Every structure is written in structure tokens, then in C-alpha cells.
Amino acid sequence: MGVLQMSKSDPKVANSDLELLENEIGHALPENFKDFYLSHNGGVPDRDWWDSGDEYEPVRVKKFKAVAASGVLDAAETRYLNGCFAVMVSKKVIPNTLLPFAIDDGGNFFCLDLTDGNICFYANDSFDSDSSYAASHAKAYRWLASSFDGFIKGLKDESEIDL
């Protein structure tokens, strides 16, 4: 499988933009994650399906979120990693240990676990108002890969999966 190709990416970002993101989220980002965003600031991947080969249905990566570049006026918008993290954590939709970096067709998140670098699918529509935040968060996780690089390498073309 070749290198992942992206279309509809935002303008390039600099290391300083990634450092600002790290300061905002309170965690260092994995080097391969930063390298990816320095090469492709979000966008639509040419291989957009994740199939775990388990009891779960394959999920489609609709779009990778972009990092807000210095001086962007709408940096707090949820289309950016920075804004999405801030809004979702403040609303307690996600724990502050997850960074949503992509969405599926239903608006659910693909997240980087900021404590160990794992990648998970996070069904943000699974919130249960009768449960605690911790219980709702625990039900929303589906672990996909042990690293961002492993996630990127595992993405497949639709023709490679059984739908």
C-alpha cells in the first residue's frame, strides 16, 4: 500500500502551530502525528475505510480535521483540532485525554489517545444522561490501532473491504 494521499487539505501549518496545539491540549503529540500534519493539514484521504476484521462494521473516515494556522480568525471552530478539542472537552462529550482528529459520515470521532498514542473510534452520540460522564465515555470507545502510524497504514480503499 502506498503513501496516503489527501485532497481538500487546509493551508500548510508550521511547527509553531503544532506547538500551540500542544500547549492548548496540555500534551505532547507523537512525532508521526506532527509529521502527518506538517505534510497534510487535514483533508479527505484516498483510502478512507477502517476495517478491524472483528465483529464491528467497517467505518469510513470522511475527513481529517485541520490544525488552526497562526492568525486564523475562526481557530475556535470545531472544524479545527484546537477548537474541536476545547468545545468537546468543555461540554464533557469527550474526556480531556482524547484529541479528535477525524470524523466519520455521522460526525463521530477518530481520536488520538493523548496518554498512550492509541487510536480509537469514539461514538459521540452514545451519551447516556442517566449515566455518569465516565460511564458514558467508556461505552463510546472502540480501540482501532496502537499508534497513529498504524492507523494510517491500516486505512483501506472501499474495494478492499466487505460492506
> What digits encode the pLDDT tens for the residues 57-86?
899 999 999 999 888 878 778 899 999 999
Residue 25's H or E segment, with its range, is helix 15-25
| Predicted confidence (pLDDT) at residue 18 exceeds the cutoff of 90 | yes
Q: Would you tell me how many other CB atoms lie within 10 Å of the CB of residue 46?
A: 13
Contact of 81 with 100, CB cutoff 8 Å: yes
The sheet with strand 141-145 has its strands ordered as: 63-64, 98-103, 109-113, 119-122, 141-145
Q: What's the pLDDT at 54?
A: 76
Per domain, the residue ranges of the chain are 6-158
- Higher-confidence position of 92 and 53: 92
β 119-122/141-145 pair status: antiparallel
Q: CATH code for 6-158?
A: 3.40.1580.10
Q: What is the average pLDDT score of the chain?
A: 88
CA dist., res. 163 & res. 160, Å (int): 10
Residue-wise pLDDT for 96-143, tens only, equals: 999 999 999 999 999 999 999 999 999 876 555 555 555 555 556 788
